[in-house]
Structure 1
Amino acid sequence: MHSRYRFSTSSDEIDRVVVHGWLSEQSYWAKGRTREAQDAAIDASRNYGIFEVDSGAQVAYARVITDGVTFAWLCDVFVATTARGNNLGKDLIAGVVADLEPLGLRRVLLATADAHGLYEKYDFGPLPEPDRFMVRLQPTT
């Protein structure tokens, strides 16, 4: 990781206001998410951040929903637009994967519309049997 930044697994360091702004205003998957919903998601997840060493400002975020034994879902991965181009996406995913590795999880899933190349570097790939997976969606209003 570039010496200007540091990776953290501490949920206490997450800048909830900043993360909510990124996800609810700039992401394609969580646009309009309420602050209450985001805070509940943070509280129920393993959280990861990258922070500027000098200012302490958060510049990237990811969270993982897991039982800690067999399964995890990597989601809400976001790098601030002002910090892109510094390989922070790679650093963030490398840190998440390293943190999860000792758990010996059988499956870690994610969904992405545009970052397949990034995740492939960390051994993510297409579902081997996509016809086994289903989804139940709630209607949006």
Structure 2
Amino acid sequence: MEISNDKTRLDLDVIHAFLSKGSTWALNIPRSLVEQSISNSLCFGGYENGQQIAFARVVSDFATFAYLMDVFVVPQHQGRGLSLQLVQAVMSHPQLQGLRRFMLASSNARGLYQRFGFQQLGNPNIMMEINIPDIYSKT
């Protein structure tokens, strides 16, 4: 799989279809929000034979903090270790080195992320959130 940060190569149809119909975290997300999220993020597209088959994005200040999100491999290409390759590309990106905090949320791929040093919150008592999981279903 070839991995690129070139946003002009991203296939918004693939990304929106997966997030809005195939994800557990962004069901029914409008395409306009996907486009906006991409424009404000460092994005990683995974490609085989010119077709996008994987995606990840990072929101960061590139100095102290980053948040990894929307990581996926399209279903017909899963089970081949491509998510490992994708996360490796994210974690080795030059702009994401030396950060004080790198976060993510995962309900089903914790083992993958633990390989890269992610772990449960060390002090969850200091962390807070506003979380509206079904926000895109309410519109």
Is TM more than 0.5 here? yes
- Could you state the TM-score of these two structures normalised by the residue count of structure 2? 0.92
Deviations 1:29-85 (A, max 9, x none): 000000000000000000001100x3x000100000001110000000011001011
**CA distance in 1: counterparts of 2:93 and 2:8, whole angstroms:** 17
**CA distance in 1: counterparts of 2:17 and 2:112, whole angstroms:** 23
- What displacement does 1:9 show? 1.7
Q: 94, 101, 106: which is aligned to 1:107?
A: 101
**CA distance in 2: counterparts of 1:81 and 1:124, whole angstroms:** 24
Aligned residue pairs, count: 135
Q: In structure 2, give the amino acid aligned to 1:20.
A: H
Question: Does 1:45 pair with 2:41?
Answer: yes
Runs of 4+ residues over 6 Å off in structure 1: none
Aligned to 2:83: 89
**CA distance in 2: counterparts of 1:40 and 1:102, whole angstroms:** 21
CA contact (8 A) 2:41 2:60 kept: yes
- What displacement does 1:103 show? 3.6
Q: Percent identity?
A: 35
RMSD: 1.4
Q: In structure 1, give the amino acid aligned to 2:77.
A: A
Q: Against the structure 1 CA distance between its residues 41 and 99, is the aligned structure 2 distance closer, same or farther, given a 3 Å change threshold?
A: same
Aligned to 2:21: 25
SS of corresponding position for 1:73: strand
Q: In structure 2, give the amino acid aligned to 1:35.
A: R
**CA distance in 2: counterparts of 1:81 and 1:137, whole angstroms:** 27
Deviates more, 1:100-109 or 1:86-95: 100-109
- What displacement does 1:17 show? 1.1
Structure 1, gaps ≥5 residues long: none
Structure 2, gaps ≥5 residues long: none
